[in-house]
Amino acid sequence: METIIGLKGKDFVMIAADCTHAHSIIMLKEDERKISQISDNLLIATTGESGDTVQFTEYISKNIALYKMRNGYELGPKAAAHFTRKNLADCLRSRSPYFVNLLVAGYDEKEGAELHFIDYLANAKSVNYAGHGYGGMFCASIFDRYYNAGVSQDDAYEILKKCVAEIQKRLIINLSTFNVAVVDKKGTRFLHDITSKSEAA
């Protein structure tokens, strides 16, 4: 039921995640933050089992911070994505696997913008755009039609608004609000939420 979507521009990555926290057919929260700032240049959006998402995200965040303390520099987005995927794969082969799906978004001066799609089976791929959850299925055609490699941040936000409008129109589940975050050379920051009242251009 949860949905996270994202797309990569020339020098930025923008991701959006719904704010609902549900258990079975019961809505528990409508202000859940599923996008986490891992470092100055790294964001991770997660969906899955509620306990697993929190524990795994914190584990990755603290270990990336530990790496910086030990070595004096941060992991780039590619290295962070590979580190995340390796840990997810190791847990998958243990008695306590994590059921989490992730989008890892980052920016590095040398590597540029990176968006990595990682699922709960530890499959990982660098992509231009991606989505997890039922809502992500409705976004593939929108990304395919409107996405281009030179997309601006304003245009990317409008594309995400189109995606959210389609999700809210077609999905029987009420995902009323989506958090939006961007990472670029200026760092990470959250943008205005996209709600059912936001009009797609």
- Give the C-alpha separation, 18 to 88, whole Å: 23
For the stretch 119-152, pLDDT in tens is 999 999 999 999 999 899 999 999 999 999 899 9
- Gap between the Cα atoms of 142 and 148, Å rounded: 12
**Distance (Å, whole) CA 97 – CA 112:** 32
pLDDT per position as a tens digit, 22-51: 877 888 888 889 999 998 899 999 999 888
